[in-house]
Amino acid sequence: MKPVNIGLLGLGTVGGGTVKVLKRNADEITRRAGREIHIGVVAARDLNRSRICDTAGIRLTTDPYEVVTDPGVDIVVELIGGLEPAKDLVMRALDAGKHVVTANKMLIALHGNEIFAKASEKGRMVAFEAAVAGGIPIIKALREGLSGNKVEWLAGIINGTCNFILTEMREKGRDFRDVLKEAQALGYAESDPTFDVEGIDAAHKLTILASIAFGIPLQFDRVWTEGISSVTSLDVAYAETLGYRIKLLGIARRAEKGIELRVHPTLIPERRLIANVNGVMNAVLVKGDAVGPTLFYGAGAGAEPTASSVVADIIDVVRTLTSDPENRVPHLAFQPEAISDIPILPIEDIETAYYLRLSAEDRPGVLADVTRILADHNISIEAIIQKEPPNGESHLPVIMLTQKVQERKLNDAIREIEALPVIGGPVKRIRLETLG
């Protein structure tokens, strides 16, 4: 049988890794796919730049439109990232009858609904395993392996850059900026690293996970998103004293009145496996009603781990090329006409426990004022620690863990606490999940 012809867009970290893996494992891949997979043409911005892969025997062009319209190309692999021209190229590729493989979570999270509609209209596949948690086959697991379950909730460490930064801060007391620079040099960070640090990349991935877990449309704009730039090494250390680790989590939960969708730094008990996922590693915890809790772990970023998912998608597409489009696994796991409009809850409606850090004047009665306000709002305190004031300062740090409370109530209590003259500055809050 004639080889399947790949047209690749972008030869950066993931593009280079993909060429390497396709070439190195060519024999195994052919045995699995049933057909030889040939990289026919690659669009790269600069043809003379030194690359991490050998491009011998591959036609190179600087024009990505040449790739998506090439009649000889069967599958377009989009690895340039960003919204445009990536979106236009993907739509053109589908119009030209190509299947598409992409690692672009921003593109899928923001425009996936439209892209999948076009793919269905054209009877083509769009595969995006590399878009979430790099090398971990989490899309495959949720769409296929767990499809007998009603998913109750999922929680994931889905940004390798942030996990790498938080790990280095905790283990080595390193400076945030230095670690970020290292993550960029290692090819983990997005081209704009604020996407990593401010939680936007994790929100893109959570958008995708929630859609395939619950059968809801992609709704990136409804994700509550907080990054790690406000997490200090003090918070990391206090959390540790109390038996917790701070991780940037993406959480999607089916609650009584709707779905919670949130990305934020989170205290999690250190005894949980997921609390011990360090460095650039990712992990996604999925709780299904039948299977119970399941944990998926692996490298969330980097050239070859991500290429592992890109190549698996290519093989998946090759294996199903001749299948009837009606019988393929739906893009969002649920049949398009069965996607539900269950609402996404506002953050004030969610219930969780909290870590609070406040700065209080060092004199009697202050703690009593704070605890009275919490009690007035029916907020129970689980633990409280008081630290010595830092050298020469009149205020001392007070750290509290609350029991579960609705965020709206906590906001009211915090406003009252901040208005106390004995409290200096804003009350710092980090959500806490036991993940039990």
In sequence order, what DSSP letters do the residues of 327-344 get, joined into one string? GSPPTTSS-GGG---PPB
Angle in degrees, CA 105, 90, 69, rounded to 5: 155
- Residue 12: both structure tokens together: 């950066």
State the binding partner of 161 from Na ion, ligand NAD, ligand HSE, none, CB within 5 to 8 A by kind.
ligand HSE
* Contact positions with ligand NAD (CB under 6 A) in 341-400: none
Q: Quickly list DSSP for 63-122.
A: -HHHHHH-TT-SEEEE-S-SSTTHHHHHHHHHHTT-EEEE--HHHHHHHHHHHHHHHHHH
Answer positive or negative: Cα dihedral of 30, 35, 40, 45.
negative
Q: Which does 211 bind (CB under 5 to 8 A by kind): ligand HSE, Na ion, ligand NAD, none?
A: none
Q: Work out which of 70, 74, 78, 129 binds Na ion, going by CB under 5 A.
A: 129
Choose from Na ion, ligand NAD, ligand HSE, none: what does 302 bind? Cβ within 5-8 Å by kind.
Answer: ligand NAD
Contact track, ligand HSE, 173-192, x by CB under 6 A: ---------------xxx--
Of 118, 205, 247, 287, which one is the catalytic site residue? 205
Establish if 306 lies at the interface with ligand NAD (CB under 6 A).
yes
Q: Which residues in the 150-169 window bind ligand HSE by CB under 6 A?
A: 159-161
∠ CA 79-13-172, nearest 5°, is: 130
9 within 8 A of 79, measured Cβ to Cβ: yes
Q: Which stretch binds Na ion (CB under 5 A): 303-311, 354-362, 391-399, 424-432?
A: 303-311
**Binding-site partner at residue 43 among ligand NAD, ligand HSE, Na ion, none, CB < 5 to 8 Å by type:** ligand NAD
Distance CA 188, CA 179 (A): 11
- Which of the listed partners (Na ion, ligand HSE, ligand NAD, none) does 129 bind, with a CB threshold of 5 to 8 Å by partner kind? Na ion
Interface with ligand HSE (CB under 6 A), residue from 75, 301, 303, 417:
301
Provide DSSP, 57-75. Answer: T-EEES-HHHHHH-TT-SE
Determine the 3-state secondary structure of 176 from DSSP: helix
Q: Which is nearer to Na ion, 19 or 136 (CB)?
A: 136
Catalytic site residue 205?
Answer: yes
Ligand-binding site membership of 67 (annotated): no
- CA 305 to CA 309: how far, in whole Å? 7
Among 19, 22, 29, 64, binds ligand NAD (CB under 6 A): 64
Work out the angle between the directed axes of helices 366-376 and 407-419 (0-180°, nearest 10).
Answer: 150
d(CA 142, CA 74): 27
List Cβ neighbours of 50 (8 Å cut-off, separation of 6 or more).
Answer: none
227 binds ligand HSE (CB under 6 A): no
Tell me how far, at minimum, the Cβ of 124 lies from ligand HSE, in Å: 24
What's the closest the beta carbon of residue 160 comes to ligand NAD, in angstroms?
A: 7
- Residues near ligand HSE (CB under 6 A) are 134, 159-161, 188-190, 196, 201, 300-301
Binding residues for NADP(+): 9-16
Q: Catalytic residues, which ones?
A: 205
